Amino acid sequence: MSNFALRLPDHIMEQAKEASAEDKISINQMLATLIAEGLGHRRGVRMMRERAARANVDAALAILDALPADLPPDAGDELRK
């Protein structure tokens, strides 16, 4: 495990203290969890961008165009009015 001195603005540290108290965990564990979640989110966004760059939009639209125009939506997929 590594150590890293982290300087945080006072208002962020107060929020971290409050959140860790609510969850009954240490501030260290709270910050480590939040950093891990942020890195996971960042990795997910990067993966989606990479997949989008490989996408063939014309092929996807052709699949949609091949569907019958009068095909009803699945339950729960109806447009809201």
SS3 per-residue string spanning 42-81 = HHHHHHHHHHHHHCCHHHHHHHHHCCCCCCCCCCCCCCCC
The confidence score (pLDDT) of residue 69 equals 86
pLDDT of residue 80: 86
Query: What is the predicted pLDDT for the residue at 42?
Result: 98
Q: What is the model's pTM?
A: 0.66
What is the predicted pLDDT for the residue at 40?
A: 98
User: What are 55-71's pLDDT values in tens digits?
Assistant: 999 999 999 999 998 88
Q: What is the pLDDT along the chain (81 residues), one digit of tens a residue?
A: 899 999 999 999 999 999 999 999 999 999 999 999 999 999 999 999 999 999 999 999 999 999 998 889 999 999 988
